[in-house]
Amino acid sequence: MKKILFLLLFMSSTLYSISQEKAKFLLQEDGTYLSENGDEFIIVPFENKNAHEIYEIIKANIISVYNNAAKVTNSVEDKIIKIRAYSDDVSRYMALGISHPVCGYYNIEIEIRDGRIRLHAPQIEEDVITLNQNSRYSGIFKSNYKNGVIKEKARKGLEIIQEKMNYVINAILNTERQEDEW
């Protein structure tokens, strides 16, 4: 039930988030993420904000995205925030024509300066679980390709994985938070 609700929320907010998208990373053939320009990071401007204000915005967003933000983050105030979080769907694995989720940890690093941040591409840790077995992410991910070309049955699942990661990243970078009057 939780997955169905998440997917409904994800799909309904996708159109909204596309217009608010500040960062986009693309999955590569080896399972890593790079920016649309092929870089390992993106510089995101935060106009008229100093490092402390940016830090506070991002920390508040992280608290709204993760159930236990303190457990998944390490930071040096006004300088850097690192996120290490677990997902039950960091990739997909095709077995007998059925797409199975791959569970594991991912890392996001955000360096903060006055007026901007450097957002490093998300990284998936190598140790993952699929079909209730320990596996290696790189090997599992490569199974979605044949002769350097993505298998058609795997394409949609990997697009969803990429969209989910970008959705989380953009929720963390959201500067359009509405302040409700109480």
pLDDT at 8: 45
d(CA 128, CA 67): 21
Residue 19 has pLDDT above 50, yes or no: no
pLDDT at 100: 87
The pair of three-digit structure tokens given for residue 73, joined into one six-digit string:
């983050």
Query: Exposed, middle or buried: residue 169 (CB in 10 Å: 0-12, 13-18, 19+)?
Result: buried
- Average model confidence (pLDDT) across the chain: 87
Q: What is the pLDDT of residues 23-54, one digit of tens each?
A: 999 999 999 999 999 999 999 999 999 999 99
**Angstrom distances, CA of residue 64 to CA of 59, 136, 151, 173:** 9, 31, 36, 11
Q: What is the pLDDT of residues 84-138, one digit of tens each?
A: 999 999 998 877 878 889 999 999 999 999 999 999 999 999 999 998 899 999 9
Residues 6+ away with beta carbon under 8 Å from 154: 92, 94, 99, 144, 145
DSSP 144: T
Q: What is the pLDDT of residues 153-178, one digit of tens each?
A: 889 989 999 999 999 999 999 977 55
